[in-house]
Structure 1
Amino acid sequence: MSETSLNSRVAFVAAPLLVLAYGVIRILDGLDGSRGPGLAWTTGHLAFVAAMLLFVSTFVQMRRMAGRTTLSTVSATAGILGIAALITQFTIDMVVGFMSPDHAHMGELFERIQSVPGVLILVYTGVPLLFYVGQLAIVVQLAAQGRVKAWTPLLVLLDLVLPLVDKDLIPIGALCLLASFAPLAGQVSRTARPVSV
């Protein structure tokens, strides 16, 4: 197995596991009634950023599996744009955590940052959604091609919907994503070849 293939396989498993870690750390951070600043806030955010970096690889691989079609290219590109926005968002969150002596001060800083024209939609409410939309779209394409089981998009959809119901459900959503991505990791090893983006 090539190093590229191994790294791609790892990404399909490690990315959901890192999201799971973020979700669990987030719950633990909130046990005292507030989240951040502190070690748990920073550690959780670092886990999520690491997951996003690995998701770039999963998008590239899923686009290849889908045949590098126009639709898969659009889906992967949208997903990666969403990743860039989410990494920006979580980086801002960490910087705010480092700059704040307490949770109340964090809230004040977030208000100031999010009041800058364009920041809210580009970094918090709009563009980040492209990650989730792109991911679901490309998995649906793979299911339509018979490359993944028909139920796989349902697991991905659960991963997207559960945090909207309650963010404490992020770990369960991450487990759903892990179950849907594990077969894709196997496909990488069977069909690996040099990737051209």
Structure 2
Amino acid sequence: MNIRHAFVAAPVLSLAYALIRIIDGFDGSRGPGLAWTSGHLAFLTALALFVPIMWEMRRLAGRTAAATIAAVVGTAGAVAAIAQFTIDIVVGFMAADHEAMRVLSDKVSSVPGVPLVVYQVGPMLFYIGLFALAAVLAAKGVLKVWAVLLILAAVVLPAASLDLLPISSLLLLGGLLPLALRSARATAALQ
């Protein structure tokens, strides 16, 4: 996939996850089932796309030490989040109902280090790295401050409520869109 498409596809897939998550909760619980699995697969794909996005942001920042550290931190966070969503998908397949999912999730979480790395601190590194890369790009004049503020709002908003994920995804799309357009212009100039 062309990197400029990834700048759009990742937030759109995040939005798909967010909307499916809300729909899945209409019956009072989330998972297991088609909505649970499809939503998680959408976000898993988005996370996989965010890895090359972050490394492209590093490249656009001039491969500086700050950008490299931010890309490494963000990638580590993406890997932790990928582990979390993979576990959630497997638990969803193994469980007959929401209560069985809770029991299986508790077993996974009882493994030392898993809660911290996979559920608490690890995934936060993804958001920290993504925002740090946007800030470095703004400092270099590659990204406008308003785009960085959109990305900041996008990474902070879900902390208030996961039900705000659709808004967060749209803000993220708005913040990353200038980079997609920049990549499109650069590609057109080479042709």
Give yes or no for TM over 0.5: yes
**Which of these residues, 75, 79, 88, is aligned with residue 74 of structure 2?**
79
Query: Paired residue for 1:40?
Result: 35
Aligned length: 187
Q: Could you tell me which amino acid in structure 1 is paired with residue 86 of structure 2?
A: T
Q: Could you tell me which amino acid in structure 2 is paired with residue 19 of structure 1?
A: S
Displaced runs of 4 or more, over 2 A: 189-192
**Deviation, structure 1 residue 12:** 0.2
Seq. identity, %: 53
Query: Paired residue for 1:22?
Result: 17
Query: Paired residue for 2:145?
Result: 150
Q: Could you tell me which amino acid in structure 2 is paired with residue 179 of structure 1?
A: G
Query: Paired residue for 1:54?
Result: 49
Whether the aligned pair in 2 keeps the contact of 1:61 and 1:188 (CA below 8 Å) is: no
**Deviation, structure 1 residue 190:** 3.2
**Deviation, structure 1 residue 191:** 3.6
Whether the aligned pair in 2 keeps the contact of 1:79 and 1:130 (CA below 8 Å) is: yes
Matches for 1:28-177 after TM superposition, within 5 Å = 28-177=23-172
**Deviation, structure 1 residue 34:** 0.0
Distance 1:139 1:172 in 2: 19
**Deviation, structure 1 residue 187:** 1.5
SS of the residue corresponding to residue 165 of structure 2 reads helix
SS of the residue corresponding to residue 181 of structure 1 reads helix
Q: How large is the RMSD of aligned CA atoms in angstroms?
A: 1.0
| TM-score, reference length from structure 1 | 0.93
Higher helix share: 2
**Structure 1 unaligned spans of 5+:** 1-5, 193-197
Whether the aligned pair in 2 keeps the contact of 1:159 and 1:174 (CA below 8 Å) is: yes
